[in-house]
Chains A and B, each alone.
Chain A
């Protein structure tokens, strides 16, 4: 793991959670969409919060694909789950939602899960392109970090 890879993981966390918060903020303006008028959802595209949210989620998806190109799925998903915590904190600050004790317990569990996986290697098997690039995943060197 180098700085660039940590930045990609950070970008997944930040842009994923910001995107969701922006969409949520935008949908408050748009209002409830009933199932007999689903096409009304397209009117949400005129809302600047929604547009900003979609842009964030585009960056999120690009970063997610980039991370999957050099790390295992079972590394990327738990390692970026800290985004759920960021999302809870952002919704407390910006959307003034209440965080109950149960939610704080959930935040604790997710943080523990992220700690478990972040100390391990990002790739558990060798792929031809990595061998060609001379990038070997050293399990021992990354064993203790979290």
Chain B
């Protein structure tokens, strides 16, 4: 039962942080290059544009949900399982989500990179 709880918390973290990353990326794509915006309109325009974007705020909510799911997960399972499992699975789910929701062209190079990094993170946290 404890294992089931731990893995459902890991699942929650993965889903919430993938949703958060995709929403933040989508918001930033819509807003456009922040560096160019800062040079032409100033830093306050950048802050106003970002904080006024609904998708961005939605993304931050999912990031917060991911953070609290991680805390809950850590209270149920070992940090050496929960933290690397959720971080490395998120790399792979992000690649899938970016392919379908952001229409990014995730070529073989990026798939290999995501899988290598996911494996590396899993090893690093041992």
Name A residues whose Cβ lies closer than 8 Å to a Cβ of B: 4, 8, 35, 64-66, 68-70, 72-78, 81, 84, 88, 100, 102-103, 105-114, 116-117, 119-120, 124-125, 127, 129-130, 133
| Contact B123 A125, beta carbon cutoff 8 Å | no
| Contact B113 A125, beta carbon cutoff 8 Å | no
| Contact A107 B120, beta carbon cutoff 8 Å | yes
> How far, in Å, is B93 (CB) from chain A's closest CB?
11
19 new A-B contacts at CB < 8 Å, known A73-B25, A74-B114? A4-B35, A68-B24, A69-B28, A69-B32, A69-B34, A70-B33, A74-B95, A74-B106, A78-B91, A78-B117, A81-B91, A100-B126, A109-B119, A109-B123, A116-B112, A116-B116, A117-B109, A120-B110, A129-B33
Which B-chain residue is minimally distant from A87 (CB atoms)? B124
Complex formed: what's the CA distance from A114 to B29 in Å? Answer: 22
| Contact B102 A73, beta carbon cutoff 8 Å | yes
What A residues does B109 contact at CB under 8 A? 116-117, 119-120
The A interface is mostly helix, strand or loop, or mixed, namely: helix
Complex formed: what's the CA distance from A73 to B29 in Å? Answer: 10
5 closest A-B pairs by CB: A106-B123, A109-B120, A113-B116, A106-B124, A110-B120
Interface pairs (5), CB distance under 8 Å:
A69-B33, A70-B34, A120-B110, A129-B33, A130-B33
Query: In the complex, which of the residues A72, A100, A113, A133 contacts B98, with contact meaning CB atoms closer than 8 Å?
Result: A72
A35-B75, A106-B123, A124-B105 as given contacts; A116 in contact with B113, CB under 8 Å: yes
**Any chain A CB within 8 A of the CB of B3?**
no
Q: What per-residue 1/0 map shows which CB atoms of B52-88 lie under 8 Å from chain A?
A: 0000000000000000000000010000000000000
| Contact A84 B120, beta carbon cutoff 8 Å | yes
| Contact A125 B105, beta carbon cutoff 8 Å | yes
Complex formed: what's the CA distance from A127 to B31 in Å? Answer: 11
What B residues does A116 contact at CB under 8 A? 109-110, 112-113, 116
| Contact A65 B50, beta carbon cutoff 8 Å | yes
> How far, in Å, is B103 (CB) from chain A's closest CB?
7
Complex formed: what's the CA distance from A123 to B11 in Å? Answer: 29
| Contact A127 B32, beta carbon cutoff 8 Å | yes
Complex formed: what's the CA distance from A8 to B75 in Å? Answer: 35
Complex formed: what's the CA distance from A78 to B113 in Å? Answer: 6
Most chain A CB within 10 A, of B21, B75, B102, B110, is at B110
| Contact A125 B104, beta carbon cutoff 8 Å | yes
